[in-house]
Amino acid sequence: MRRSVRKFVSVTVIGVVGAFFVLPMLAAGAQEGGQVPASPGACTFTAVGTAPGPVTGTVTVPAGASDVTVTFTPDEGDRTPQPHTYPAPAGGGTIQFAFDVTVPGLVTANYVYGNKNAYATGCTGPGGAEAIHIARAAGAALAFTGSSDTPSFVLIGIAALVVGGVLVIGARRRTRVS
């Protein structure tokens, strides 16, 4: 009798412990709501700018989009993506964005749809590109630092070297003659 009670209690405890592991997985599956909703449509974006400086552009999203995220990922230094989130226009449409960058990098855009969950779709740039590169600003011409008298100073310097050389050679000969 004791053995059968022990077996019953052991099986019950194992069942309860197993339920603690299985129930959270079943609950998580129930929260997903079944199928992933279909994307409401295509998304396009543009971005222009140079580093360092402002990056500006537009993102066009379809109806059903809830948030638009434009992400800048630097090419140099700390390559941590820098997201910038904007509310999507009701019924779809275009949003404008602007932010400053200090180094070159890639700009990407996507939007969230559904019930503001993790369902997101990427946007395409010009020519179907998934990212637009922001380059370093072109170098400007160097400031003019020379004077207009440079040729005259060069000639004066050469003449001073010749005169100094003559004085050194004359002094050596004079010490030998004495």
Q: pLDDT per residue over 131-178, tens digit each? A: 999 999 877 666 666 667 778 888 899 999 999 888 888 888 777 766
In a domain, 173, yes or no: no
pTM of the model: 0.57
Give the DSSP letter of residue 118.
Answer: S
Percent of the chain at pLDDT above 70? Answer: 70
Q: Are residues 73 and 29 in the same domain?
A: no
Q: pLDDT per residue over 109-131, tens digit each? A: 998 886 655 567 789 988 888 99
Q: pLDDT per residue over 13-23, tens digit each? A: 565 555 555 55
Q: How far is CA 157 from the centre of its chain?
A: 53
Q: How many CA atoms lie within 13 A of 163 on its CB side?
A: 6
SS3 content of the chain, % helix, strand, coil (to 5): 35, 35, 30
Q: Are residues 23 and 81 in the same domain?
A: no
In a domain, 15, yes or no: yes
In a domain, 149, yes or no: no
Q: What is the pLDDT of residue 128?
A: 85
Between 35-44, 73-82, 105-114, 164-173, the lowest mean confidence (pLDDT) is in: 35-44
Residue 60 has pLDDT above 70, yes or no: yes
Total domains in the chain come to 2
75 near 104, Cβ under 8 Å? yes
Q: Which residue has the higher pLDDT, 15 or 45?
A: 45
- The whole domain housing 48 covers 44-136
Report the first-to-last Cα separation within the chain, whole angstroms: 135
Residue 166 tokens, joined: 């003559």
Q: Are residues 14 and 88 in the same domain?
A: no
Q: How far is CA 159 from the centre of its chain?
A: 58
In a domain, 106, yes or no: yes
Q: Supply the CATH number for residue 131's domain.
A: 2.60.40.4070
Q: Are residues 52 and 122 in the same domain?
A: yes
Q: What is the pLDDT of residue 30?
A: 45
User: For the chain, what is the mean pLDDT?
Assistant: 80
Q: Are residues 55 and 118 in the same domain?
A: yes
**44 Cβ contact partners less than 8 Å away, ≥ 6 residues apart:** 59, 60, 123, 124, 125
Q: What is the pLDDT of residue 20?
A: 55
In a domain, 80, yes or no: yes
Handedness of CA 92, 96, 102, 106 (dihedral sign): positive
Residue 152 tokens, joined: 């005259």
